[in-house]
Chain A
Amino acid sequence: MTAVAASYDPAWRGRVGVLLLAAVLLWPALVWTEFKPWEVFDAQSLKSTGRFLRDFVPPRHDPEFLHLMLLQTWRTVAIATDGLVLAFLVAVPLALVSSAQMSISSLSGRMARGPYALRQTARWAAIVLRSIPELVWALLLVRVVGLGPTAGVIAIGITYGGMLGKVYAEILESGEAAGTQALLRNGAGRLQAFFYGTLPQCSTELVGYTVYRWECAIRSSVVLGFVGAGGLGQELDNATKMFAGAEVSAILIIFIALVAIADRMSAWLRKELG
């Protein structure tokens, strides 16, 4: 009896139970999402995929096409950069208002009620701005301002403004508070204390995050092109719809190169400013 008891693993029942539970939970999810990977490999779609992929080589590279791509690449970078500038303008006041570092009333006791409410409002504004993805903003804005880069710039400005505002405020609060508070205690104004105490404390992190977001905005502006916001994305969308494999591959190569360059540039900038 004791020998039987010793050869029995008391944990296996639980293990089997978890596996069964996972299967029960995941199976309906697979059914609902109509996940049927074997359809990729049926003869019909293999044939059309094959034709599409064969077109990939060589990528299209005639001067006229390359010139157009150069223009669109430039437009993509411009959408990202302008969008980020707009986001910066939105984020700076949000971060300044929502960060508690520059609170004068909390120097003596608790933060006063008015400033506290204002800080919470700014925090909520940042949450609302960034909770809607830029793709959705772009879709809405294309209806308002029409097809073209303006919709992309505003969409990136809104969503990234919320993101930057939130993260800026967090960076400002995570820094050493003593320097800012010493200035406030000696009678400096909030913005003076910010420029002489908080900013030199956090500048590297702030710049690093902004540059990283610029890189993200470049990727994002390509996606926004699909909903009609112009740039490389729109070209990629057109090429895919027309099954122009050579153009798709050329655009993908340009896209990869662009992101790689942006990545190198942001790494270099962060190192220089660090």
Chain B
Amino acid sequence: MGQRPWTLSRRSLHALRARLFLAPQTPPLPPRQRVVTAVLAGRLSQQGLAASLRSLFYPSDIPAARNALAHFDLADKLFERVDRLSSGERQRVGLARALVSGAELLLIDEPLSALDPARAGQAIASLRTAARESGATLITTLHQVEVARASFERIVGLRAGRVMFDLPAAKVSDAMLRELYADHEDELTPDRQGATPGIGASPPVPARMPVATFR
């Protein structure tokens, strides 16, 4: 975005924050909030205080929230409370929030950690479509190597805090991945991923993981 965040004043730094969307791995949603409010909270930086208060009284854009949730098969949960959802559903609500945010850069930490393989494929596809439609850059961290190779254009391999490779997905070879996951090859086998999706498959610290980007 052509700016150096470390030299910005606090005001312009906060304006820059509005153009990014950071989704933590465990979505921090208040348990007593309704799903529709939790999703529309992704838009706060685009609206003024008065508009966001009005939206608490009556949700400002129910169709947008429903549409974002529909991408993750959650449209029927629109008016449920967050504490009635499973952790996988909460994670998908967090992703729906990313969809309505209108940010130019989506930074999503392990979007699939609580999802089963079928949901994971759908979630990645929805994120890609949304990013393409809005012209946003999508960066995620993933442990599912196959998903990264199949759905993303560029893959960055990190090991112990160092970049092992930074290549277009097509140029990432099996040998490179084996080297990246040396001593942890079991994580490369799809079987194991299928059996323990999500956090169970994450490597011990220091982290070894491909960072997948899609533009």
Residues of chain A touching chain B, judged by Cβ–Cβ distance below 8 Å, are 104-105, 108, 112, 176, 178-179, 181-189, 191-193, 195-197, 200-201, 203-204
Closest CB in chain B relative to A248 CB, distance in Å: 47
* A204 in contact with B28 given A185-B22, A186-B42 (CB within 8 Å): no
Q: Tell me if B32 and A200 are in contact (CB < 8 A).
A: yes
Q: How far apart are the CA atoms of A183 and B46 in the complex, in Å?
A: 12
Q: How far apart are the CA atoms of A196 and B39 in the complex, in Å?
A: 10
Residues of chain B touching chain A, judged by Cβ–Cβ distance below 8 Å, are 10, 13-22, 24, 26-33, 37, 41-42, 44-45, 49, 52-53, 56, 101, 103
Chain B residues with CB under 8 A of A189: 44, 49
Query: Total A-B residue pairs with C-beta atoms closer than 8 Å?
Result: 74
Chain B residues with CB under 8 A of A197: 28, 30, 41
Q: Tell me if A192 and B30 are in contact (CB < 8 A).
A: no
The residue in chain A whose Cβ has the minimal distance to the Cβ of B51 is A192
Q: Tell me if A112 and B10 are in contact (CB < 8 A).
A: yes
Chain B residues with CB under 8 A of A200: 30-33, 37
Query: 15 interchain pairs (CB within 8 A)?
Result: A105-B10, A112-B10, A176-B28, A178-B26, A185-B17, A186-B20, A187-B19, A188-B45, A189-B44, A191-B49, A196-B44, A197-B41, A200-B32, A200-B37, A201-B32
Q: Tell me if A186 and B21 are in contact (CB < 8 A).
A: yes
Q: How far apart are the CA atoms of A201 and B26 in the complex, in Å?
A: 16
Q: Name the contact of A183 in the complex, choosing from B15, B41, B53 (C-beta under 8 A).
A: B41
Q: How far apart are the CA atoms of A152 and B117 in the complex, in Å?
A: 65
* A186 in contact with B17 given A105-B10, A196-B44, A200-B33 (CB within 8 Å): yes
* A187 in contact with B15 given A192-B52, A193-B44 (CB within 8 Å): yes
* A195 in contact with B52 given A185-B22, A186-B45 (CB within 8 Å): yes
Closest CB in chain A relative to B14 CB, distance in Å: 6
Closest CB in chain B relative to A63 CB, distance in Å: 47
Further 5 A-B residue pairs, CB within 8 A, beyond A182-B27, A196-B44: A195-B53, A196-B52, A196-B56, A197-B41, A200-B30
The residue in chain B whose Cβ has the minimal distance to the Cβ of A197 is B30
Q: Tell me if B41 and A196 are in contact (CB < 8 A).
A: yes
Q: Tell me if B24 and A203 are in contact (CB < 8 A).
A: no
Closest CB in chain A relative to B99 CB, distance in Å: 13
Chain A residues with CB under 8 A of B15: 187
Q: Name the contact of B14 in the complex, choosing from A187, A195, A204 (C-beta under 8 A).
A: A187
Q: Tell me if B29 and A179 are in contact (CB < 8 A).
A: yes
Q: Tell me if A187 and B10 are in contact (CB < 8 A).
A: no
Chain B residues with CB under 8 A of A192: 44, 49, 52
Q: Tell me if B103 and A108 are in contact (CB < 8 A).
A: no
Chain A residues with CB under 8 A of B19: 187
Q: Name the contact of B18 in the complex, choosing from A181, A186, A193, A196 (C-beta under 8 A).
A: A186
The residue in chain A whose Cβ has the minimal distance to the Cβ of B6 is A108
Closest CB in chain A relative to B197 CB, distance in Å: 23
Chain A residues with CB under 8 A of B45: 186-188
Q: Name the contact of B24 in the complex, choosing from A178, A187, A188 (C-beta under 8 A).
A: A178
Q: How far apart are the CA atoms of A170 and B198 in the complex, in Å?
A: 36
* A179 in contact with B17 given A105-B10, A112-B10, A191-B49 (CB within 8 Å): no
Closest CB in chain A relative to B126 CB, distance in Å: 19
Chain B residues with CB under 8 A of A181: 28
The residue in chain B whose Cβ has the minimal distance to the Cβ of A175 is B30
Closest CB in chain A relative to B113 CB, distance in Å: 16
* A104 in contact with B44 given A179-B30, A192-B49, A197-B30 (CB within 8 Å): no
Q: Name the contact of A203 in the complex, choosing from B18, B32, B44, B101 (C-beta under 8 A).
A: B32
Q: Tell me if A182 and B24 are in contact (CB < 8 A).
A: yes
Q: How far apart are the CA atoms of A112 and B14 in the complex, in Å?
A: 14
Q: How far apart are the CA atoms of A207 and B20 in the complex, in Å?
A: 35
Chain B residues with CB under 8 A of A112: 10
Q: How far apart are the CA atoms of A188 and B49 in the complex, in Å?
A: 9
Closest CB in chain A relative to B64 CB, distance in Å: 16
Q: Tell me if A178 and B49 are in contact (CB < 8 A).
A: no
Q: How far apart are the CA atoms of A196 and B19 in the complex, in Å?
A: 19
Q: Tell me if A188 and B44 are in contact (CB < 8 A).
A: yes
Closest CB in chain B relative to A151 CB, distance in Å: 35
Q: Tell me if A186 and B30 are in contact (CB < 8 A).
A: no
The residue in chain A whose Cβ has the minimal distance to the Cβ of B42 is A186
Q: Tell me if B30 and A201 are in contact (CB < 8 A).
A: yes
